[in-house]
Amino acid sequence: MVVLRLKRFGRAHSPFFRLSAADKRSPSDGRVIEELGWFSPTAPEGKQWELRAERIAHWLGVGAQPSETVVSLLKRAGLPATVGTRGIASMAANRFEARRNAPKKAPAAAAGEAKS
C-alpha cells in the first residue's frame, strides 16, 4: 500500500518536512516513490508550504492513504483529503475528524475535587 507522509529534515529546533509518496513497509526516512512538496512550519505565513496538487490528487485517486498530519496539511492548503475515484474520506481523515469532535477531558485538578 502507498502512503502519503512527511519526512523530517532540518536541524534542531528548525524543522523542515518533505511530503512524499512511499511504500508503507519502507522506513519513514527511507526510499520514496515520489516527492510531492514541502512544508516548513517555522516559515512566515503564506510561505509555509509548496505542494504539487495534481500529483497529490493522482496518488489519492489511486488509493494512497495520507497520514493524519498530511490530512491536516491538505486541509490547510485547501486540497481534498479523499481517497479513490469515488471520493471516500481516508482512514486518517476519519480519525482526524473524530478526535476534533470528541468531548474534551476535564482538567486533572477539577477531577480530583469531584472525587472528594
Per-position pLDDT tens, the chain of length 116? 899 999 999 999 999 999 999 999 998 888 999 999 999 999 998 899 999 999 999 999 888 889 888 988 998 888 887 776 666 666 777 777 777 787 877 777 665 566 65
**What is the predicted pLDDT for the residue at 4?**
93
**What is the predicted pLDDT for the residue at 86?**
64
Q: The domain 2-101 belongs to what CATH superfamily?
A: Ribosomal protein S16 (3.30.1320.10)
**What is the predicted pLDDT for the residue at 107?**
72
What b-and-e string marks burial along 55-80, b requiring 16 or more CB atoms within 10 Å of the CB? Answer: ebeebbeeebbbbbbbbbbbeebeee
**What is the predicted pLDDT for the residue at 98?**
79
Q: How far is CA 85 from CA 29, 36, 58, 59, 88, in A?
A: 29, 20, 10, 11, 8
What are the residues whose beta carbons fall under 8 Å from the beta carbon of 95, sequence distance 6 or more?
68
pTM: 0.71
Helix (H) or strand (E) holding 109: helix 108-115
Strands 49-51 and 34-39: antiparallel
**What is the predicted pLDDT for the residue at 110?**
60
End-to-end CA distance of the chain: 51
Domain spans, the chain: 2-101
